[in-house]
Structure 1
C-alpha cells in the first residue's frame, strides 16, 4: 500500500515538474512552437537560414547611406510580384537621389531576379540584396534573440520576420522603411526627418516610418529594439509591428492618445495623420480594387493592405488600377493581367 502511494506521488511530482519545465522553456528564446500549434500549418521560413546558391550580394555587412529607403521581402518566393514591383518602382521614380534597397531574406532565383532586373534595371538607384537574418542581427541588441530562433516562435512567421527586420534596419542604418504593398505618390524628403503615421484613433502604424541618425531618431530606434527584445509575442498579429512603435511613442510622448502625438509632445518626432499614408483604412481595403474614383490628393503613400486584400482582383478603372498606371507604369505594362487590364 505504501509503495503504491509513493509511486503515485512520484508520478504527480514528475508531471508537475514537466509542466513547470515546459512553461519555463516556452518563455525563453529556445521555445519550440508547441503553444502556437493550431489547425493551420505554420509558414515554412527555413529559407531564411539558407546560405547556398545566393545570386544576390549580401547585405549583412553593407553600410547603407542614411538617405536610404528599405523594403523587406520575407517570404520564400525569391522575387517580387506585381504589387511589390509597383511599390519599388513608384518609390524609385519619386526618389531619384535616394538609395532604394530591396532586402530578401531568402535566396532569389535566377529567373525571378532576371524578371525584376528587366523591370527595375532602368532605375540605377534600386539595389537588390540578400539578408542572412542571423548575421544581419550581429552587433545589435537582437543578436541572441534572432540566433535562438525567436522569429520561428509565431503563427505569422513571414509577417513577424518583416516586423522585426524593419526596426532592425532602421536601428542599424537610419532612413525610411516602407511596406511592399504601397504606391508612393510624392517624395518623402519634404517631410521631417523622423516620423510615422496613425492608421486609426488607437494605433500608430508601422508600414511607413523614418528614423534618422540624429538624436531623436536614435532614441526611437533604440527604444523600438528594446521593446522587441523584451516584449516580443508570437500570438498577437500586430504586437511586433504597429504595437512596437505605438508603445514606444506612448512612452516618449507621455500620452496614450495617438491624436496628441506631435513634434511638440514627442520631442521632435512627428506622427502624421492617416490621410497622408493610410487614406483608406484596412476595413475598406476593397475600395482600392473596385471600379470607381477616390479623391485622395493629400496622400504621399497609398497603403493597400495586402494582408487583407491579396485575394482581390484589380478591376479596370479601379483606384489601384489608376494609381499603378500613373506611378508605376513599367510594372503596369509588364504585369498586364495583374492590373485590371483584361
Structure 2
C-alpha cells in the first residue's frame, strides 16, 4: 500500500493539469484489482514520469517537505540594506540576481556568480536583491563588503508584497495558494525574476552561474535552452524596447494564469517556454527552438555548455573541460551539485579562480562548502 500511495502522489503531480487521468490512475489503484493489474499501472506511471522528466532538470524533483521557512520575507528588523522603492531607477544595462533563501547573506558560490558578472561587465550595473534582511554585521564583516568594492555592484532589499504592488502579480503574491507553495523559496525566486524584468528590463541571472564573457554583443531580447524541449529561465534578457516589454508583460500574465504550487519548474522555465512557443506558433513559426520575431533562444553551449546529467564534470579533480568559444557563462546546476566538494584542480575551481578571484581567494579550501 505504501508504494501505491507514493505513485498515487506521483500521478497527481504528473497529471496535475489532467484530472481525468489522475482519477483513472487512483481508481485503478484503489479498486480490488489483481497484483498484476496494480503492478502494470505502477510501471506505466513510472514510464510516463521518466518520459516527462528526461529532458528537463527543472521538472524532475518532487517536494515532500513543506516546512521551508520564508518568514524573513515579511521581516523588517535588523535590515542594513537600502530598500528598492519607487525611486530606484537602474540603467538599461542592468543584471539582476535574487537571494530568497533567508540565509541573511550569500553563499560562496552565489558570491562567485555576482563577482563574475560584475567583473565581466564593468559598465553595467549588477543588482543583488535580497528578499530577507541582511544585518549590518554581515554587510560589513563578510565578503559582501568585498563585493561592494566593485563600483557597479548594488546590494538592496525588497519586500515582496510591496514589490509586487501595481503589477499583474500583486494579488497572486498576497494569496494563500502562493504562500502554501511546495517550493516556497524557489517559487519566490520565480516570481521575482519575472517581476523584476517586468518592472525594469535588463538581464536576470541565477546566482549559480560563472560568467566568462560580457553580454554586450548578444541580442537585446533572449533566453537560453539546455535541451530540445524547453527554454530555461536561469538567464534571460528583456530589453526596454517594444519586444522586451511585450515579453515581460506576457510572462507575468502567463505566470498569473498558470501558477501551480506543486511543481518545481512549472512557474519558472515553464513560463518562458509557454510564452515563446505560443508567440512562435501564432506567427506560424513552429520551429521555436531558436526563437522568433526577434526573440532569440540561444543553444545550450552559450549558457548551459555542460548538460545537467553530466554536471559532475565541473567537480572532477584534474578534469580538463573544453567548451565552445560561444560560451558566455557556465551553469553549475546548484540544486543537483550543492553537496559536491570542489577540488582545486576541478573545472569549477579553475573557473572561479579566473572569473571570481576575490571570492575564491577569500574562501580558499572552503570555497563551495
- Fold conserved (TM > 0.5)? yes
Q: Secondary structure at the match of 1:208?
A: strand
Question: Tell me, what secondary structure is at the counterpart of 2:310?
Answer: helix
Secondary structure at 2:224 match in 1: strand
Q: Which residue of 1 aligns with 2:84?
A: 59
Aligned CA RMSD, in angstroms, stands at 1.7
Q: Is the 8 A contact 1:216 1:268 kept in 2?
A: yes
Query: Tell me, what secondary structure is at the counterpart of 2:196?
Result: helix
- Give the CA deviation at 1:189: 1.4
**Which digits, 9 at most, give the CA deviation of each residue in 1:311-337, with x for residues without a partner?**
111012111010000101100100112
The equivalent residue for 1:172 is 199
Which residue of the partner structure matches residue 84 of structure 1? 110
Q: Does 1:144 align with 2:171?
A: yes
Aligned to 2:328: 300
Deviation per residue, 1:26-71 (Å, 9 max, x gap): xxxxxxxxxxx97524201011111222210111322222211000
What's the CA shift string for 1:77-125, capped at 9, x where partnerless?
Answer: 1101110110011110110011100000000123322213332122010
Relative to the length of structure 1, the TM-score reads 0.84
**Which residue of the partner structure matches residue 187 of structure 1?**
214
- Distance apart, 1:241 and its partner CA: 0.6
Q: CA 1:226 to 1:288, structure 2 compared with 1: closer, same or farther past 3 Å?
A: same
Q: Distance in 2 between matches of 1:40 and 1:92?
A: 35
**Among candidates 247, 262, 275, match of residue 235 of structure 1:** 262
- Secondary structure at the aligned position of 2:97 is classed as strand
Given the alignment, which residue of 268, 279, 282 partners 2:294? 268
Within 5 Å, which residues of 2 pair with 1:238-249? Answer: 238-249=265-276
Deviations 1:261-320 (A, max 9, x none): 33xxx2111110000000011222111111201111321010101011111110121110
Task: State the secondary structure of the residue aligned to 1:57.
Answer: coil
Deviation at residue 157 of structure 1 after TM alignment:
0.8
Note if 1:333 corresponds to 2:361: yes
Alpha-carbon distance in 2 for matches of 1:213, 1:275: 26
For residues 109 and 315 of structure 1, what CA distance do their matches in structure 2 show? 32
Which runs of 5 or more structure 1 residues have no equivalent in the other structure?
1-36
Q: Secondary structure at the match of 2:344?
A: coil
TM-score of the pair, normalised by structure 2: 0.78
CA distance in 2, matches of 1:107, 1:207: 24
Contact 2:97 2:205 in 1 (8 A): yes
SS of structure 1 residue aligned to 2:233: strand
Following TM superposition, the consecutive aligned residue runs of length 4 or more in structure 1 with deviations greater than 4 angstroms are 255-258
Q: Distance in 1 between matches of 2:244 and 2:294?
A: 9
Q: Is the 8 A contact 2:78 2:136 kept in 1?
A: no
Shift in CA distance, 52/246, structure 1 to aligned 2, threshold 3 Å: same
Counterpart in 2 of 1:319? Answer: 347
Label 1:256 to 1:77 Cα distance change in 2 as closer, same or farther (>3 A).
farther
Structure 1, 172-181 or 57-66: larger mean CA deviation: 57-66
Q: Could you tell me how far apart the structure 2 residues matched to 1:169 and 1:79 are? A: 20
Gap runs ≥5 in structure 2: 1-61
Match of 2:161 in 1: 134
Contact 1:324–1:339, Cα closer than 8 Å, also in 2: no
Tell me the residue number matched to 1:72. 98
Shift of 1:147: 1.9
DSSP 3-state at the match of 1:70: strand
Could you say which residue in structure 2 is the equivalent of 1:15? Answer: none
CA distance in 2, matches of 1:106, 1:329: 27
8 Å CA contact 1:70, 1:103 repeated in 2: yes
Give me the whole-angstrom Cα distance separating, in 2, the residues matched to 1:170 and 1:41. Answer: 28
